[in-house]
Amino acid sequence: DQQVKQNSPSLSVQEGRISILNCDYTNSMFDYFLWYKKYPAEGPTFLISISSIKDKNEDGRFTVFLNKSAKHLSLHIVPSQPGDSAVYFCAALPTGANSKLTFGKGITLSVRP
């Protein structure tokens, strides 16, 4: 039973355009969400996060939007650059001191020059 779903396995966009990566979750106890970026044969690196008390968090070219009622979040990258080509994982954390991150399967983003 997948609690964090990234239903589109891949996305291809033109350099300079917007990339929108989507993530859905089913567990209403999740209250903190993170996006990680991963290059092949490397560990994931933290990109941006959002708490459930917010609906938007922005960091440079990266913005994460959270729609709690729809249990949906999205990562926007504007403008997209070829170096953004990587796998992007959405992760969610429930409330509680002993909570663990749950990861989605990832989306492979390709930015065409």
Closest approach of Cβ 111 to another protein, in Å? 21
Contacts with another protein: how many residues (CB under 8 A)?
24
User: 49 or 74: whose CB is closer to another protein?
Assistant: 49
Closest approach of Cβ 13 to another protein, in Å? 21
Among 4, 50, 64, 77, binds another protein (CB under 8 A): 4
CB 11 within 8 A of CB 19: yes
Residues between 11 and 70 with contacts to another protein, criterion CB under 8 A: 32, 34, 36, 41-46, 49
